[in-house]
């Protein structure tokens, strides 16, 4: 049934979902002892380990980027104080298995 045709809405499902969320939530822990929690490494594929490999950087490649491309990278992807080529090194290192692989990926980018 199309909602626009009948002007009726079946809100039971939405209400049930909201009620299920409110009843299944657990209250926040009331641990006021001041004990500090420590983060443990998960050592799985979902863990992000920033490891920059030594890559030979060519800053003259910035000239190959269009103004629109530069604006997009600045607006969305660059970290504070990072250059365009630093971004590409970071991406290549994130996907690389070793330094040689990082260099090849950087060259492709």
Contact 91, 107 (CB under 8 A): no
CA 11 to CA 5: how far, in whole Å? 16
- DSSP code for 29: P
Other CB atoms within a 10 A radius of the CB of residue 42 amount to 8
Torsion angle defined by CA atoms of residues 79, 84, 106 and 72, in that order, rounded to the nearest 10 degrees: 80
Q: Pull the structure tokens for residue 2.
A: 């199309």
| Residue range 20-74, pLDDT digits in tens | 555 555 555 555 555 565 656 566 655 556 678 899 999 999 999 999 999 999 9
- CB distance 62 to 85 below 8 Å: yes
| pTM of the model as a whole | 0.55
Torsion 102-106-108-109 (CA) sign: positive
pLDDT in tens, 18-34: 565 555 555 555 555 55
């Amino acid at each position: 049934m199309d909602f626009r045709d009948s002007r009726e809405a079946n809100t039971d499902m939405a209400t049930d979902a909201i009620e299920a969320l409110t009843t299944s939530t657990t209250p926040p822990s009331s641990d006021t002892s001041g004990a500090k929690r420590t983060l443990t490494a998960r050592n799985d594929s979902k863990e992000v380990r920033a490891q920059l490999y030594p890559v030979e950087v060519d800053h003259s490649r910035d000239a190959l980027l269009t103004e629109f491309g530069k604006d997009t990278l600045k607006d969305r992807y660059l970290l504070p104080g990072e250059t365009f080529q630093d971004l590409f090194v970071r991406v290549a290192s994130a996907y690389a298995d070793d330094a040689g692989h990082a260099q090849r990926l950087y060259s492709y980018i």
